[in-house]
A and B are shown apart, each in its own frame.
Chain A
């Protein structure tokens, strides 16, 4: 990979990777670190990307996703990022929106989703990846991605119920 190839890839995908990392972590500094590590990894090991397996965007989002999980493990070594702990999260509890702006409420609701559901939802709704691309990026089966998306939407509907009620 030449220097100009790398710059081109960086300019095309940096915002996507940054937005994904920000939505996953809720922190701009962590998101910046993730973008940097993601592209440094790509610069050092360009052979890790196989074009026949999918688009570069999905590959970079997969790398970013692993880096986000790594940063969580560093910060919370005992936290497990599996579906088994989904029931222990705050997902599904209604919010008090009295003093909250709508966007902030959505952000908080998304950040409260369990990580597997959150990444599936962000990749599908915000980055508009296909189910196959999400499965490749997260290392999950397509059926599992579908199920996570379904549960994520259900949890968001519950959490954002007061906003829906205001719209009616």
Chain B
């Protein structure tokens, strides 16, 4: 339990401590803090050049598989060019009526 003297000294000390007053935060601090905490606004189109997105790894697997299948299909089932000579033989009639082409206009040698 505190004696009267102690209480008096505490009150005195408290009064003395109150004599050290500190000013409030300077106004410039507000700009400084809010500037560093508020996200800067950027033009939306800048995202097209500088932005990035996070993609889940399973989605990357799926996209890679789809790309592989697409490439395989394109290369395996690419239509071959019909031979000019074959085209001649089919359009000119039956085999019995066929005769060697007298003139060949194909630019590649050996085709006719």
A: which residues have CB within 8 A of B?
Answer: 3, 6-7, 10, 14-15, 17-19, 22-23, 28, 31-32, 35-36, 39-40, 43, 102-103, 106-107, 110, 125-126, 153, 156-157, 160, 163-164, 167
Contact = CB atoms under 8 A, between A and B. Distances in A.
Contacts of B22: 18-19, 22-23, 126
A125 B34 contact: no
Given A32-B25, A103-B19, A160-B16, A40 B10 contact: no
Q: Chain B: interface residue count, which band?
A: 20 to 34
A43 B38 CA distance: 9
Contacts of B33: 10, 14, 35-36, 39-40
Contact of B16 (A32, A35, A106, A126): A106
Interface string B25-38: 11001101110111
Contacts of B20: 23, 103, 106-107, 110
Interface of B: 9-10, 12-14, 16-17, 19-22, 24-26, 29-30, 32-34, 36-38
B25 A15 contact: yes
B9 A125 contact: no
A125 B17 contact: yes
A126 B36 CA distance: 29
Where chain A touches its partner, the secondary structure class is helix
Contacts, number: 71
Nearest to B26: A32
A43 B22 CA distance: 26
Given A18-B24, A19-B22, A10 B16 contact: no
A126 B12 contact: no
Contacts of B24: 14-15, 18-19
B32 A32 contact: yes
A163 B15 CA distance: 11
10 closest Cβ pairs, A-B complex = A18-B25, A106-B20, A43-B37, A15-B24, A19-B22, A103-B19, A14-B25, A107-B20, A103-B20, A39-B33
Nearest to A126: B17
Contacts of B13: 153, 156-157, 160
B13 to A, nearest CB: 6
A18 to B, nearest CB: 4
B39 to A, nearest CB: 9
Contacts of A15: 24-25
Max chain A C-beta neighbours (<10 A), residue from B13, B32, B36: B13
17 contacts: A14-B30, A14-B33, A15-B24, A17-B25, A18-B22, A18-B25, A28-B26, A31-B25, A36-B32, A43-B37, A103-B20, A107-B20, A110-B17, A110-B20, A156-B13, A160-B16, A164-B9
